[in-house]
A = this chain, B = another copy of it.
């Protein structure tokens, strides 16, 4: 591919293949692929360094198609690079095909799923940051995005992050085709409008005719030459470029062209150009050496420790043991206690400031490079990153998230700071693990387990101190539970986790003093739940009372049912959860007002067992 004419031909091939694939599938985004075809052609033929036979090559560049709906363009490029056949290209969007409507890592060359706009750049920042701060590697990160998605605030979190970190190994290519799904974008072809914004955020900017291969090539060369900041290439393009029936026309988004044969003819017919993508230089594998073995922190029974503190200490210890563990925080590390990690491993700690989407995206990017990230902020504020967490699951990402300040138990700060919906959010994430410890030793063991696991793993921690009830050598397998009170006369089982475990123990002891025996189960693994223990408790006691510092919907009360939805008999159920809108109050008052403290448990048990309350 030496001449610019060759590049133009390759761009036309990409267009033809996008037209063919979408027409064959009778759905898909032809016009969005066509606008970016030349940008992709020049990238693939002259700039990308990638070994398609070795997708895990540590020196490979990373290419993220943030405008994931333009997947036909990506797949056309894979075909030209020899990674897939034309036959496979024609399986686009068919059942069973790995060429999905939007790219996912079912394809070995796709780092992360895209299709929810405004995520490619934030994740790209994480990959680029790993290549600079974790393991200096010569790879470059290329993100190709649309103009519409620049309205997403997540992109500006990423612009800020990348600009501040001076990530010159990151190039964002914006396909400014003027038209969104529904009509014109705010700035249409005002490339200067985007350039002013990016420049203000500390980026180098280049404006270019996105259908002029020579100009695009020059822009990419210019980007490579900038050493102190990331570069954005703003490319003026036409949606549906090359096919007059759709070119720069509204109402042509997300569908095949109206006349396939005519379009292919207008584009100069089917081609079969192949390109040899330049492979990366031989390079050493990333570091990620394991460190000195460090023991987990240990607490004695009866000591008081907040689970957020235990998280911070355990994470620091795991970080000493494993060089692949990195920690990220959203400017609240003194609250989440990830500061303990930061102090011991400053080179593997990343401050993402108050930008939770970018926090999670950076973590997703780092796990693309093989790192084991733990990202933390308040549980409440992880809701900011819900779409990124959802998409991380589609990306088959391996990621640990920790949310502190769970529930009303935080006390005076009030509802804006209380994580009351986080269990519902994380339980619904595909393949997730949801853990909610109640003491220091349990927390430490779960943190260690999280570093080993796959998928999206969530740990919920509490602000206030609570007594240590487990010995430091006890084990807490994911999917397990702990029976804390049990007798042959148990008439009901109280199922609790986190702060309510302590309330449940107090309640059980009070009830026992009155001769009423109840079982207490610590359901620290909210997903998966310990079905065996729950079935046993149901059989033995016939009634489960769940008590949780969370909204009634989607939390522990619902999780318990995961053990009973296969048609078997279901025990009686009582759900105590936060049904009020809290205000300010002390932690104890909050638990009382929400009806999830020991007194509320005692009352609910007595009501259920029809035992009169002792005056």
Chain A interfacial positions (CB closer than 8 Å to B): 25, 27-28, 68, 92-102, 104, 106, 113-118, 148-149, 151-157, 160, 164, 180-182, 185-186, 196-197, 199-201, 329, 331-335, 339, 351, 353-358, 380-381, 383-384, 386-387, 390-391, 393-394, 411-417, 420-421, 424-425, 427-431, 527, 543, 551-555, 557-559, 561-562, 564-575, 581, 583-586, 589, 593, 607-608
Contact = CB atoms under 8 A, between A and B. Distances in A.
A182 B354 CA distance: 11
Contact of A561 (B180, B354, B558): B558
B116 A182 contact: no
Contacts of A27: 411-413
Contact of A383 (B118, B351, B390, B569): B390
A574 B565 contact: yes
B414 A104 contact: yes
B354 A180 contact: yes
Given A412-B28, A417-B115, A554-B427, A575 B583 contact: no
Contact of A181 (B94, B156, B332, B411): B332
Contacts of A575: 565
Contacts of A113: 415-416
Contacts of A357: 153
Contacts of A164: 186
A325 to B, nearest CB: 20
A373 to B, nearest CB: 19
A93 B567 contact: no
Contacts of A561: 557-558, 561, 573
A394 B412 contact: no
A95 to B, nearest CB: 4
B104 A415 contact: yes
B428 A554 contact: yes
Contacts of A421: 386, 390, 425, 428-429
Nearest to A569: B572
Contacts of A181: 331-332, 334-335
Copies in the complex: 2
A570 to B, nearest CB: 4
Given A27-B412, A557-B561, 6 more contacts: A93-B584, A114-B416, A116-B417, A383-B390, A386-B387, A391-B416
Contact of A180 (B331, B387, B551): B331
A107 to B, nearest CB: 11
Contacts of A564: 573
B68 A416 contact: yes
Nearest to A380: B116
Nearest to A335: B181
B583 A353 contact: no
Contact of A117 (B354, B358, B420, B607): B354
Contacts of A114: 416
Nearest to A430: B581
Contacts of A95: 583-586, 589, 593
A534 to B, nearest CB: 13
A393 B92 CA distance: 42
A562 B573 CA distance: 10
Nearest to A396: B581
B387 A387 contact: no
A339 B424 CA distance: 32
Contacts of A413: 27, 101-102, 115
Given A113-B416, A157-B152, A573-B570, A339 B182 contact: yes
Contacts of A586: 95
A551 B355 CA distance: 27
A389 to B, nearest CB: 8
A254 B458 CA distance: 26
B554 A558 contact: yes
A354 B149 contact: yes
Contacts of A380: 116, 387, 390
Which of A351, A584, A589 counts the most chain B CB atoms within 10 A?
A: A584
A358 B102 CA distance: 25
Nearest to A605: B567
B334 A584 contact: no
A236 to B, nearest CB: 19
Most B C-beta atoms less than 10 A away, residue of A156, A164, A551, A608: A156
A152 B567 contact: no
Contacts of A101: 412-414, 417, 584
Contacts of A180: 331, 353-354
Given A157-B152, A353-B185, A573-B561, A584 B414 contact: no
Contacts of A554: 424, 427-428, 553-554, 558
Given A331-B182, A384-B387, A153 B155 contact: yes
A406 B559 CA distance: 23
